[in-house]
Amino acid sequence: MKEHPEFDICVFGSVNADVCVYAERAAGLGETRFGDRYALNLGGKGANQAIAAHRLGAHVRLLGNTGDDIFGAFVRQELARFGVATDLIGVAGSYPTGMASILVDAAGRNAITVVAGANLTASEAEFKALEEVLKPKSALLLQCERSPAANLRAARKARNVGACVVLDPAPVPSGETLKTLAGLVDIVTPNETETEALTGIAPTDRASTEAAADALHGMGFRIAVLKLGARGAFVRAPELRRHVAAPSVACVDSVAAGDCFNAALATRLCAGSSIEAAVRYACAAGALSVSRPGAAASAPTAAEIASFAPDLSA
């Protein structure tokens, strides 16, 4: 897939350094356990989504902030290594670079604690840059690792130019923030845990999944795409209720799988795919991501998805 103006993806998001610890299970309160290994990686939902979209052929602009510290230098170096431009990454000198502590257990499941640091800052220069890079046929990817006020302002700017706004509601925002965002967001993509936190409904079977998706639609989100892990995804659009199965893979590491999903979803929508086709493609991207370790490094290329699921490559 080659770069094309219709594939413009703008990511307004977090940039973190991730400390990943791999262990058979997480330690309980008051307990000390040995892990198997650890790694320092580039992370943050914003950085992960930007890299994933770039690997799928999109022209990507990432807007975010780091601290003026060694971790800030590290994440910039890693972004450049992955091919994502860093010219719109600001430096918030009085804040540390965002940091995530990630535990990955033997089943590939993860538990993440984030210290937002510089991700909670936003400058007028950043919003001016956002206005310049947003286009009517582009997509704006948002997550909730930046401040609610900044996300709302970014979403309004995207809505003003007719860009598609895709929200990953993680960490789950407060009720008032969510209510305002709902009217500005085109597609919301919670996972199972986030879906229950947002709606009070655990999506454990078809009936509860539909009920949760309907609840999100009732909140004002035009399209809800529930990410259901190994079960795939459920799409609730004005004229569509559809479960989309995920390809079967052995789960090695689920970190950033949702970010790969969102990047793939937005990229295919910008290319003109239907919401159902885009979700099928996103499920394949997420499946490939969990089959290998790492966050940004686990994002598949368009060629890899084409080989993995030939019927989805368009």
Gyration radius of the chain's alpha carbons = 18
Which amino acid, 48? N
CA distance 27 to 33: 6
Distances (CA, A) of 191 to 87, 229, 279: 31, 8, 14
Long-range contacts of 39-42 (CB under 8 A, 24+ apart): 39/294, 40/74, 41/17, 41/78, 41/294, 41/295, 41/296, 41/297, 42/15, 42/16, 42/17, 42/18, 42/74, 42/75, 42/78, 42/79, 42/82, 42/295, 42/296
CA 305 to chain centroid, in Å, comes to 18
From the list 8, 168, 253, 259, the catalytic residue is 259
Find out whether 17 and 48 touch, Cβ atoms under 8 Å: no
- Whether a cis peptide bond, with omega within 30° of 0, leads into 310 is no
Among this protein's residues, is 259 annotated catalytic?
yes
The type of residue at 225 is V
- Biggest CA–CA distance in the chain, Å, is 53
Coil, helix or strand at residue 301: coil
Q: How far apart are CA 236 and CA 50, in angstroms?
A: 25
Structure tokens at 172: 């789950």
Phi-psi category of residue 113: left, alpha or beta, with phi > 0 → left and psi -120 to 50 → alpha:
beta
**CB-neighbour burial class of residue 84 (10 A; exposed 0-12, middle 13-18, buried 19+):** buried
Catalytic residue IDs: 259
